[in-house]
Amino acid sequence: MTVPGARRAQPGQGTTIGRIPVIKPSPVVENGAFPAKAAIDELFSIEATVFREGHDAVGAQVVLTDPDGASSVRPMRPVPPAGFDRWGARVGLDRLGSWRFRIEAYDDPFETWLHNAKIKIPAGIDVELMCAEGRELFEEAAGIARAAGDAAAVELLSSAARFLGVAVQVEDRLARARTDDVLAAMAVHKPRRLLTTTPEYPIFCDRRRALFSSWYEFFPRSIGAHRSASGHWVSGTFATAQERLEAAARMGFDVVYLPPIHPIGYSYRKGRNNTLQPGPEDPGSPWAIGNADGGHDAIHPELGTFDDFDEFVRTARSLGLEVAMDFALQASPDHPWVQDHPEWFSKRIDGSIAYAENPPKKYQDIYPINFDQDQDGIYAECLRLINLWVDHGVTIFRVDNPHTKPVDFWAWLLAEVRRTNPEVIFLAEAFTRPEMMHTLGKIGFHQSYSYFTWRNEKWEIIEYLTELSTQTDGFLRPNFFVNTPDILPTFLQSGSPTAFTIRAVLAATLSSNWGVYSGFELYEHTPLRHGSEEYLNSEKYEYRPRDFAGAEERGESLALLLGRLNELRREHPALQQVRDLHFHTTPHDQVLAYSKRVGDDLIIVVCSLDPHQVAETEVFLDMSALGFDDHDVLEVHDQLSGRRWRWGQRNYVRLTLEDPAHILTVTPPSAVTPSATRPDTSTAKPSGSGAS
């Protein structure tokens, strides 16, 4: 119950300690300057440190305010480990939009009385005095319930007050005051004194797709591309690319991401493998946007028309897919902006427009935009472009290199789009310094590329995922791409199917958002040169039609595993979030074990990190973290192989090159057959995995 008229500070004001100190509230981003992230039906914790002088009890509660201004109260409870005065409430938001929360802490005289009564009354100390104090508290609570119109609670609380004064055994009087229904009524209506309240802090609740998505990236121009009878390349189109939509849907993906689909510049066009000498049929990099056919508001003529694109989007939606579009704010030298708005670009001292550079690399085919010149014009044009593509059914944008543009620009643009189209999602493609990545998340990007691509060792995966799940979870949602057109991770360059399986399992189960660039399922693994992370014959610079169907028929495709991973992700809420992640102990430095849980849905993953060797080890489960006792016996079912075992606290696993991972669902102890009185050791042998 909120006490009317309680004073509270505002975010950003000088902080003063209230009568009951409330510090370190979370999730709070930059002292409330930006909203924390949540998604519809996502469960997360609101916490604060609450304490007071002396030994009297304190209590705390969260007051949530929805987008319409209606408030509700959620009780907070002590958060383990004990002794750190941390309080928390598990909450979930059910509506898209701007929410607020504040934390109220208070002196809790009833809990103080109850604690003292449980000690003093059995010891015969101050018995009648304790009963008198209890009667007063129950009568006060009954008055609060009466004011709230809760007649049932009034009766329960008044009856408990009366019973504390009758001439019966004092232990019976105390027992009557501690029945479940009385305590429940008291929890709602008990006196709350010395109320202290925090400022209100913002949370924005996004639609579910911002939290949980599976991305598949492909180049439409490559799907259906072929050589004509005369030997010339013919580009794929939106019509031919629809076959890849169907394949993405079969593999269980729900987002298809397209690199830029705009006209491509001719000046300084790059040839195969990023050379400076293009052939007459080299299509150029899609990121060199713009020519005489138009710029960011146009479609490459070889792909089709706007009507063709609209049909592509409709087909995707009919298959349960959303289309994500690349938003790359840069221009080729042939872009209409260069002629119409030369002031939008930086000039060198010789008067030429500066092209993009990352010395020693030069990108003569791309002009960066200078956002400090004609800010009003540039801002308005960028918003116009977003609205144009939203009108054509695009609801997700993958933003290219946002860390090379001003952060305040993104803060403005994302706020403007959120104001009119809060369903639109932005993914920040920023592999850069941590503070920039964090700030992009704070100012509004819904998802972010991550360092997962380069985290291969056990210790660094644990360290990084602990950061993502407990430290940055309020403002940064990672999207674990296993590869991109720019990045062929060293881990995959052996071409071992085991390596591809390992990275897919880790990405799909550690993060609620993950992505695959086409070719991954075909084990494409050849680098441009030794030590490079670039693909040989990169699709960025040439057509790359692939024989997906033939590879599946020959058993040379990972498509079935990708489909199974996405199926498990849809079936299990535990895999649809990042926050509730716990690592378990394995002595082997190349075996990772972790669990994720939401409510009754519990998933345990055990995965090898070595694509070249069989790994045998024990797995020591933290049973308390799983919600079980140390001696409980669980039945686990591997959702990849179909095998079942009985596991306890200590278990044996053998991970092979054919089966390098277990994704286990758990049958709790109460449901395990009576014969399972102890872990089954019969499977603890080289032919499989089991408990020992």
Which active-site residues does the annotation give?
A: 400, 429
Q: What is the DSSP annotation of 121-141? A: HHHTSSHHHHHHHHHHHHHHH
Query: Within a 13 Å sphere around the CA of 506, how many CA atoms are in the beta-carbon half?
Result: 30
Contacts of 618 (CB under 8 A, 6+ apart): 586, 587, 650, 651, 652, 653, 692
At residue 446, φ and ψ (nearest 5 deg) are -75, -35
Measured distance CA(59)–CA(50) in Å, rounded: 8
Strands (E), 232-351: 233-234, 255-258, 322-327, 330-331
Measured distance CA(565)–CA(501) in Å, rounded: 10
Judge whether 684 and 690 are in contact, CB under 8 Å.
yes
How far the first Cα of the chain sits from its last, in Å, is: 51
Query: What DSSP designation does 332 have?
Result: -
Query: What DSSP designation does 95 have?
Result: S
Q: Are strands 22-26 and 43-50 parallel, antiparallel or unpaired?
A: antiparallel
- Strand, helix or coil at 225? coil
Q: Are strands 425-429 and 447-449 parallel, antiparallel or unpaired?
A: parallel
Neighbours of 434 (CB within 10 A): 11
Query: Under the phi-then-psi rule, with left for phi > 0, alpha for psi from -120 to 50, and beta for the rest, what region is 227?
Result: beta
State the DSSP H helix or E strand holding residue 339, giving kind and residue range, or none if neither: helix 336-340
| Structure tokens that stand for 399 in this block | 């933003």
Task: Kindly report each contact of residues 309-313 with a partner whose C-beta sits within 8 Å and lies 24 or more positions away, as own/partner.
Answer: 309/238, 309/261, 309/392, 310/392, 310/393, 311/238, 311/239, 312/220, 312/238, 312/239, 312/241, 312/242, 312/245, 313/392, 313/393, 313/394
Judge whether 293 and 301 are in contact, CB under 8 Å.
yes
In the block, residue with structure tokens 């439409």: 220
Judge whether 209 and 18 are in contact, CB under 8 Å.
no
Query: Within a 13 Å sphere around the CA of 123, how many CA atoms are in the beta-carbon half?
Result: 8
